[in-house]
Amino acid sequence: MYELLNYVSDPSNANAAFALGLYFEDKGHVAAASVLYLRTAEFTSDDLLAYEALLRTANCYTRAGDRTTTTKGVLLRAISLMPERPEAYFLLSRLYEMCSDWHEAYTFAVMGQRLNHDHPRLRTNVDYPGAYGLVYEQAISAWWIGLFDESIHLLRQLKKNTAMLPIHIASVDDNLRRLEPTIWHTSLSYERSMYERLRVKFPGSRFIERNYSQVYQDMFVLTMLNGKRDGTFVEIGCRDPEFNSNTKLLEEWGWTGTSIDILPEATAQWEGRRKARVITANALMIDYDALLSQRDYDYLQIDIEPALQSLTVLLKIPFEKHRFGVITFEHEDFRGLKDNVKERSRSYLRSQGYVLVAADIAPDDYENFEDWWIHPDLVDPKIVSSMQNTSDAAKRADRYMLTS
């Protein structure tokens, strides 16, 4: 055996010890391999080789089992040797995760992401999957330390990563399937006491006691249209007549319009509670050319499930014949789906002459689910200028609409 002969002829040769360690590890002799890797780290003057040997030692201990404390020590030694490299942070975070030491797993995952990942490649595969691995460990451990929104957000971002290993793809899908249904966000409500904090105060805003939308959509519409009374709306995906309704407040301001939902149990609740015309129908099957009877409308809402169907409805609207002062479009980008609804809807609305005012509105710091648009011929450009924020970051709606 070539590797053994080289090592026997020169036992203090670090490269020979490392090569023989690889041979034994490949054969499943992890105890012998770990001894040789430790000798490599001891004899070499090459910090990078010593670092890699320590990582391989840790992986051997992990495979052998029952050496958790020793494995942690080896990985900490690797970090102290080359604190600028990410691999040991990942392996240590993964080890802490396996031991259910969630705070430690989270801490080392976050620390590893703050490093420069542009380093010379190691000689061998040390089970480091790349930078996404640290994000994965952060996502898993975040859940167990109570950072539920952060965990879901990171898992959704990971779902977009096409370079993940199959084991991580399966784990991300499984965790999202189990954890997403447990997350529930209440509405971000506006109350009269918040008036002084409104970013833009429009005529009549002082007297609004409360709103109804989930994330200030109704307040945004009134802001963009400078408190317009007696406006018109088309609401595609209306559900409850009051809870999370984007048009209930508008109706209180004298607006009229048409609301559409596919669920008869939802539209049945509108009778006697709302004045708007409500239609029970599949929004994908409606002839919008026949439905829309006037040139200009003040507000168009498109919000049906899933977001790809919202895009289909958007493409069915005859924009060449009708204009809408304000549009709120739900793209659900936070879900990490690969249908690219957000960018496709943005490209299309821009081609129709609409201007994006608020991008990636969210109920929290992560779940960017909606874009808010205006038609430049129907909205005062001064108002647009004071409210425009199209950065890539998710925008919690109350922080966007209100000053601190």
User: To the nearest whole percent, how much of the chain has pLDDT over 70?
Assistant: 97
The CATH homologous superfamily to which domain 46-182 belongs is Tetratricopeptide repeat domain (1.25.40.10)
Residue 11 has pLDDT above 60, yes or no: yes
Tokens for 45? 């003057």
Q: Mean of the pLDDT values across residues 364-380?
A: 94
Longest dimension (CA), the chain: 94
pLDDT tens per residue across span 187-206 = 799 999 999 999 999 999 99
Non-local CB neighbours of 102 within 8 Å, separated by 6+ positions: 96, 141, 144, 145
Tokens for 84? 């600028």
Q: In this structure, is the dihedral angle defined by the CA atoms of residues 160, 161, 165 and 171, taken in order, positive or negative?
A: negative
The CATH homologous superfamily to which domain 192-401 belongs is Vaccinia Virus protein VP39 (3.40.50.150)
Mean pLDDT of the chain: 93
Residues in the chain: 404
Domain boundary assignment for the chain: 46-182, 192-401
pLDDT tens per residue across span 127-178 = 999 999 999 999 999 999 989 889 988 998 898 888 999 999 999 999 988 8
